[in-house]
């Protein structure tokens, strides 16, 4: 099972699709690739890989930038969809010229990234981000755009702050009274209700009016508002205190169905975890360590498939490691490094033998991944299945990922 220098992953035509998209974030992967997090109107957040994009000759390199609306052609992949074509629809070039508007655009992308689920379409959030970039590009004050975006995103997420009625008693707030802004309970408290003292939580009437304006006014009217800088600052810190309530902070839980019930460890917002996922999707050789009954660790190269959050191996039914696994299911698996000790991916996990799992000839994803190798090294799927017919699934319990 010697590794080949290159390989191809054939992509059938019907697995291609076209979508509008905004790049939310990206990071370099391998020598010339880049992994992108996209927001799309029809599929929500999507992770995609742009292969060879960092090479000078790349056709698509220059156009796959954040803060632009793109039309992409993609091919479905197991872990990441693959970008095959890019067309820039709206480059929004002006918003990049100014550091503050650039920073605001980054902030909005980050908010969208952490609040949206993968493959969960919310077209209104896509349109919100698109509109935000349009008005930023048109020169609206970045602070106003940011507050407008925060308020409407909160609305989309179903946590619109209450600025008309007291969150505690429900009474309509009156112009003559004193208000307190209490983010943990979702809005403004009237002067009659108990709560934090006015000198720490107090909010001015102008601040309250500006919050209402962000909820009600269209952007043209907002852009034209004259507001004292102190009031803008007050509303900015009010929204800053409110925003941590927006869901999505911290590690994401994968749904039990998507992960096959495996232990939660891959945080899609963690670059290192995503890098490990990318390697697991494309690497064809891993090294598996098991421990013999008398405690001796043993390591062998394996072929594997990353599927539903677990590692699938077709073991040789005669292998000694099967007895190791029966006695001690704890294993360690690592991928190859880059040749100089960098780019490390190590998975620790628990293995189980699942005789009922589909065998090699009935596993299209496995056949696709090892296309070529199965014929070359194992005399075809049927022959391979005579020997390598012991499906072993490894549920990861810990991942070490140190991108190069
Ligand atoms: Zn009240």
Q: Per the structure block, which two tokens stand in for 305?
A: 């498939």
Rounded Cα distance between 351 and 324, Å, is 10
pLDDT (tens digit, 9 = 90+) per residue, 82-128? 999 999 999 999 988 888 888 899 999 988 988 888 888 889 999 99
Please answer whether residues 273 and 251 qualify as being in contact, where contact means their C-beta atoms are separated by less than 8 angstroms.
Answer: no
Mean pLDDT, all residues of the chain: 85
Rounded Cα distance between 365 and 10, Å, is 11
CA of 176 to the centre of ligand 1 (A): 14
Three-state SS string over 22-40 comes to EEEEEEEECCCEEEEEEEE
Q: Which residues of the chain have pLDDT under 50?
A: 1-6, 11, 248-264
Rounded Cα distance between 28 and 185, Å, is 41
Q: Quick one: pLDDT at residue 255? A: 30
Q: Quick one: pLDDT at residue 382? A: 92
CA of 169 to the centre of ligand 1 (A): 4
Query: Is residue 289 packed enough to be buried (19+ CB in 10 Å), middle (13-18) or exposed (0-12)?
Result: middle
Q: Quick one: pLDDT at residue 244? A: 67
CA of 190 to the centre of ligand 1 (A): 4
CA of 228 to the centre of ligand 1 (A): 28
Q: Quick one: pLDDT at residue 396? A: 87
Q: How many CA atoms lie within 13 A of 75 on its CB side?
A: 12
Q: Quick one: pLDDT at residue 256? A: 27
Q: Quick one: pLDDT at residue 130? A: 97
Q: What is the pTM of this model?
A: 0.60
Q: Quick one: pLDDT at residue 263? A: 47
Task: For the chain, list the domains and their CATH numbers.
Answer: 17-92 (2.40.50.140), 140-245 (no CATH), 256-402 (2.30.110.10)
CA of 225 to the centre of ligand 1 (A): 29
Residue 113 region by backbone torsions, left for phi larger than 0, else alpha for psi between -120 and 50, else beta: alpha
CA of 106 to the centre of ligand 1 (A): 37
Q: Quick one: pLDDT at residue 8? A: 52
Q: Quick one: pLDDT at residue 343? A: 86
Q: Quick one: pLDDT at residue 354? A: 83
CA of 181 to the centre of ligand 1 (A): 12
């Amino acid at each position: 099972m010697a590794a080949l220098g290159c390989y191809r992953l054939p992509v059938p035509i019907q697995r291609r699709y076209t979508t509008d998209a905004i790049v939310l974030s990206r990071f370099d992967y391998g020598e010339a690739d880049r992994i992108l997090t996209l927001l799309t109107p029809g599929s929500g957040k999507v992770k995609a890989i742009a292969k060879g994009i960092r090479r000078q000759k790349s056709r698509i390199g220059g156009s796959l930038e954040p803060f632009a609306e793109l039309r992409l052609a993609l091919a479905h992949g197991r872990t990441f969809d693959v970008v095959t074509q890019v067309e820039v629809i709206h480059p929004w070039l002006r918003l990049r010229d100014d550091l503050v508007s650039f920073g605001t655009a980054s902030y909005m992308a980050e908010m969208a990234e952490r609040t949206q689920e993968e493959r969960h379409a919310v077209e209104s959030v896509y349109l919100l981000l698109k509109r935000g970039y349009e008005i930023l590009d048109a020169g609206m004050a970045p602070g106003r755009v940011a507050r407008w975006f925060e308020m409407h995103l909160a609305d989309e997420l179903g946590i619109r702050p209450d600025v008309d009625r007291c969150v505690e008693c429900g009474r309509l707030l009156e112009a003559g009274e004193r208000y307190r802004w209490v983010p943990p309970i979702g809005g403004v408290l009237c002067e009659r209700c108990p709560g934090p003292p006015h000198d720490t939580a107090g909010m001015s009437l102008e601040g309250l009016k500006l919050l209402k304006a962000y909820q009600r006014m269209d952007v043209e009217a907002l852009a034209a508002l004259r507001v004292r800088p102190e009031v803008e600052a007050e509303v900015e810190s009010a929204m800053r205190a409110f925003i941590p309530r927006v869901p999505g902070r911290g590690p994401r839980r994968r749904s039990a169905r998507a992960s096959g019930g495996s232990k939660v460890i891959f945080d899609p917002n963690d670059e290192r975890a995503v890098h490990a996922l990318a390697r697991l999707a494309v690497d064809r050789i891993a090294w598996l360590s098991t421990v013999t009954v008398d405690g001796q660790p043993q390591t062998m190269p394996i072929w594997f498939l990353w599927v539903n959050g677990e590692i699938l191996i077709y073991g040789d039914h005669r292998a000694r490691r099967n007895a190791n696994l029966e006695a001690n299911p704890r294993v360690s698996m690592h991928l190859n490094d880059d040749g100089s000790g960098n780019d490390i991916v190590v998975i620790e996990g628990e293995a189980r033998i699942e005789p009922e799992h589909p065998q090699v000839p009935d596993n299209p994803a496995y056949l696709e991944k090892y296309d070529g190798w199965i014929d070359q090294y194992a005399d075809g799927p049927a022959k391979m299945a005579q020997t390598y017919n012991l499906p072993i699934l490894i549920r990861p319990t810990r991942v070490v990922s140190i991108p190069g």
